[in-house]
Amino acid sequence: MQFEDIGQTTPARTLVVEDSDWEQLSRTDAMRLTTLFLAARRFEEKILMLDKLNLVHGPAHSSIGQEGGAAGCIAALPIDTLMNGTHRAHHQCVAKAVNALYEDGMDPVASGLSLRMRQEIQGLMHEILGLKDGWTGGRGGSMHLRRADLGIMGTNAIVAGGIPIACGHAFAEKQRQSGKLMVTFFGDGAVHQGATHEAMNLAALYGLPMIFFLENNKYAVSMSVEQSTFQTELLTRPQGHGIAAVKVDGMNPFAVWLATRWAQEYIEREGRPAFILAEVYRYYHQSSSIPGSAFGYRTRDEENAWKARDPWLFLQRELTGRGILNADELAAIDAAVTDAMDAAAASCVEGAGSSARIRPELWPEASSVDANLNSDMREFDGVQFAEAEDYAAEDMETLSYIEAMARTMGARMAEDERIYVFGEDVANMGGGTVGATRGLTETYAGRLINTPITENGFCGLATGAALSGLKPVVELMYSDFFLVAGDQLLNQAGKIRHLFNGSASVPLVLRTRIPGAEGYGSQHSMDPAGVFALFPGWRIVAPSNAFDYVGLMNSALRCEDPVLVIEPQELHKRKTLVPKKLDYYIPIGRAKRVQEGDQITLLATLSMVERCVQVAAEMGVRADIIDLRTLSQRDIDYDTIGASVMKTGRVAIVEQTTRGASLGALIADEIQRRYFDYLDQPVQRVTGRWAPPTVSQALERAALASEDDIRTRLAAMLQESGLTAQPGNVHALRA
């Protein structure tokens, strides 16, 4: 038996600093590097002091000891570089903010920090303390930090949660040919997350201009690298994805500076991402000023050995010993930085010692808690809203639902170069797996992006691309797959606007297919509306016909919020009259009455709209049938619903989905709160059964709601109310 080497050629190396390398570091570079390092160190010390006074609400993850990695990296990069990070990011954000404002010719020895630098340091400190003058009004606190005009695109409390988003920022910059780099910072704990590997795969696949920067501080809370993985050589991870990587001593800020210069040159030369692993050490426990040895997961000897290698001691020794800066110059920079930190703390605290407290006038108003959950919709100013009855017959043509999907996307892509479509197979097979991109693959080949089967990764990439100004459209082959991408879609995209107090928007469109009674089983058949409705940052539209699809998709593509578009496969071939010009909009938040009646109100969604029309006609029930169209909780059209309930006194909510996934319970609760006095009987619901549909045709039919379920519920409501039906005496407003 014989084995042959597979010929892995992706480099994974350790950087060794030579004496001659110091010639690359000018006095100006040394001042910048020192300033960034000390800004991070003194800021962290001040935060720990405030934490000891119990003035920091929530965690404050200290990075004291590991600032050399962030300072060395950021000091080597252009000031317009973009970055994001994870929950331990104070040092990165301070260094990035100072570097973004570090003008050519600046001399911190002579002039200290600029006024703008001091203001941004104050804003960051206010943010960590949860105050209204913080970077995002105090909503982000310590773990969620964003200052986009300084290139800080948002840090993330979910380990590895920001790494796919970083790919999106890099993707957007590559498409714009801006030349900007993206750096994503993360720790050794993130290496084991699937999101990290999905992101590295996408970055390598698409040739994204980004640096993956791993701060290996040896512990994820108390779990050592050795306890977390069998393969402790972490450079094998990027190597496995074809990303060139270098390991460097992160306690040596100059070595990190050199490694980052290599990474920047490599990205510019090769058009591929790079990976830096900086070996660093955090002196304190996860989120406190207590050393880790106090909790028993490491020894004092270990901590003391790393403290002897402190980056500040290193800089003082090497910079003075090599004649680059002298002790007085280092002391002057330290004094200027320390003064800025003292002033920042003084701006938000009054009193001293145990009597210290946050200045009460700095807290945000409690009444602002719900502000900036969604866009204020001003992006729709001046658009043409229309319904089918607004058009003359000669202006209409017959289109199927699936034809409307492709044509609408093509029309909007022709107008808006920001639109990119992401998904599995979207650029293959002449129009994707169901034909939703038919006719687009040649004209927009560079904007239809085939993705690997990595939903969490490409949904995160789309989120980052949206944050950077693109208009991503994500196609999930089946709705259930959103669960694989739950963090990126629900925890990230759905919360970002509110979390960052309106300073960020995620104009992302998510298209999801529900197969209905097609035998795909319980892992491919979920109606996602009930889950997405729990996250108020999401808008949800549910078009039941081709006309509505065009108008609602146009609105989704214009909206500055993430929008879920639900596309039932059962409707794909159903044809409807649609205007020849696909330039109209249907407002998000407006329902449609499809049949007039005065006996019972039926609130229907998706494929159940036509079923309600048919069953009401067969039974002779004078039903007021309303197509809800918008299903996000804050957007449901209760004005239209209320007018109908006041007329009929009876209402049923009709959904095809299973009982547990139904949105109807939330709608029923709201109706009874708003219109209780007008109801003659409790709000009724028509749904499928508790069990999800399985592949068995008989069980699938039993699991999903059908015409028989509508018929049974209507009959019971009529009987309870003493009403009679008149078959053949009902006419729909829309066929």
Would you name the residues annotated as active-site residues?
Answer: 524
Taking a C-beta distance cutoff of 8 angstroms, is the pair 512, 474 a contact?
no
Q: Which residues contact 580 (CB under 8 A, 6 or more apart)?
A: 395, 396, 397
Q: Which residues contact 495 (CB under 8 A, 6 or more apart)?
A: 535, 537
Tokens, residue 16: 């060794």
Half-sphere exposure of 611 (CA within 13 A, CB side): 22
Taking a C-beta distance cutoff of 8 angstroms, is the pair 120, 61 a contact?
no
CA distance linking residue 551 with residue 586, whole number of Å: 5
Three-state SS string over 560-575 comes to: CCCEEEEEEHHHCCCE
Tokens, residue 261: 């210069």
DSSP calls for 409-478: HHHHHHH-TTEEEEETTTTSTTTTTTSTTTTTTTTTGGGEEE--S-HHHHHHHHHHHHHTT-EEEEEESS
CA distance linking residue 611 with residue 626, whole number of Å: 12
> What is the rounded radius of gyration, in angstroms, for the C-alpha atoms of the chain?
29
Q: For the purposes of burial, counting CB atoms within 10 Å of the CB of 61, is it exposed (0-12), middle (13-18) or buried (19 or more)?
A: buried
Taking a C-beta distance cutoff of 8 angstroms, is the pair 255, 72 a contact?
yes
| Helix (H) or strand (E) segment spanning residue 84 | strand 82-85
Place of tokens 């080949």: 445
| 82-85 and 12-14 beta bridge pairing | unpaired
DSSP calls for 94-138: HHHHHHHT--TT--HHHH-S-HHHHHHHHHHHHHHTT-TTSTTTT
- The dihedral region occupied by 431, where left means phi > 0, alpha psi between -120 and 50, and beta the remainder, is left
The residue type at 62: S
CA distance linking residue 276 with residue 15, whole number of Å: 10
Task: Name the DSSP class of 488.
Answer: I
| Helix (H) or strand (E) segment spanning residue 261 | helix 253-270
Angle at 461 between CA 455 and CA 463, to 5 degrees: 100
Task: Name the DSSP class of 50.
Answer: H
CA–centroid distance for 510 within its chain = 12
Neighbours of 254 (CB within 10 A): 28
**Max CA distance (Å), the chain:** 99
Tokens, residue 121: 């340091």
Q: For the purposes of burial, counting CB atoms within 10 Å of the CB of 483, is it exposed (0-12), middle (13-18) or buried (19 or more)?
A: middle
CA distance linking residue 217 with residue 225, whole number of Å: 9
Kindly tell me the sign of the dihedral angle through the C-alpha atoms of 289, 292, 295, 300: negative
Residue count (the chain): 735
Taking a C-beta distance cutoff of 8 angstroms, is the pair 80, 176 a contact?
no
CA distance linking residue 555 with residue 586, whole number of Å: 6
